[in-house]
Amino acid sequence: MRRDFLNSDITLRDLAKRHGCSYRYVSGLSSQERWYPQRRELQAQQESAVTEALVERVAAKSAELAQLKALTAEEHVGRSLQVGEQLHVLLQQALAALEAQDVRQLKTAIEAWSTWDKQMRANHQIESEKVQKPLIDINVMAALPSRAELERQQKEGKTVIELKAA
């Protein structure tokens, strides 16, 4: 009977009915053995245990999320480096095409850059009808020597393309 009382929110009257005893008997027993203070203490211990378990779960989830964020940051850096390398290769191809005066290869490199730029805009949701600035600074392309300058350099025997200072 004591266990039923301590582990539930049952009243002494309902407890007496459940066990077929008089209320007076159950009340006297409860008073002698101090059931109400014991119930409050037991409930406080249970709430404390539940709270501690919840805090541990939250701490574990927080640590897990912190690791995910760190992995995401590392992945982001990796992707950024990969994109930078791809862009570098693309610009090298454009410079080589320009140096060789291969218009077809230069056009292919520019189209590849344009396609990449559109894809990056779509992926990062920066597509705007008002602003049509490329993600890569076009000043890099503007710094390339003109065709006449390139021909002059070839006549002089220079093989290195020098970029104009912006």
Query: How far apart are the C-alpha atoms of 129 and 123, rounded to whole Å?
Result: 16
Q: Stretch 5-19: mean pLDDT, rounded?
A: 92
> Is the pLDDT score of 46 beyond 50?
yes
- Write down the domain spans for the chain: 34-156
Q: How many helices (H) and strands (E) does the chain have?
A: 7, 0
pLDDT of residue 66: 65
Q: Which of 102, 91, 89, 93 is nearest to 136 (CA)?
A: 91
Q: Stretch 103-115: mean pLDDT, rounded?
A: 80
pTM of the predicted model, to two decimals?
0.39
Amino acid at 72: T
Query: How far apart are the C-alpha atoms of 68 and 75, rounded to whole Å?
Result: 10
Q: Tens digit of pLDDT for each residue in 19-42?
A: 999 999 999 999 999 999 999 999
